[in-house]
Structure 1
């Protein structure tokens, strides 16, 4: 029985069933500019992901910053570490403004509610794990 379940899982994965954020896909996304430095926005996005995922061992937070380009990326990955379920990309506009693009997978719990919480975390400069709108 276990072999059957594994075989069926492999067939589903190889049959084109997309999991996570896909390039050029229809994942929910939002872009906006905030009046903060890219370093501040990067740390806020990383902190929000870490705080909201505390105790949820199936997800990992990956974060990287490029000081030369004044950009950053915070990515949340699920099982097998190749399934990206949430992403925050940041780029400095100038010393005091940052362009933010946030994308989620689109399936619960990585849906528009998660996207709203991610956005509010950046805009309010505090970790928001649940959207109440």
Structure 2
């Protein structure tokens, strides 16, 4: 279960689209993300490091993961991550050097929680 949560949260927290890269430049850089489950089968909080560059995310764990959604110029994050037929919906916002939001996994595993982000 912990690997499942880790697989989805790392690439999915900041789902970014490349066509608005100029608007995301203030968000470029290294981010520390803490994902905390609140309900369901996921039990342990996880911390992740992600890098946003030119409006896109870099993650070694993102192979085999389909991401959709984006980050609008105001910092609103909305998207989903699908891996192994499991979908994680992610919403939230970034502002300056921090952000927060929620995530939900529904299907064969059900859990949800909150995430917080801090730019390093």
Higher radius of gyration, 1 or 2: 1
Instruction: Say which structure is richer in strand.
Output: 2
TM-score normalised by the chain length of structure 1: 0.34
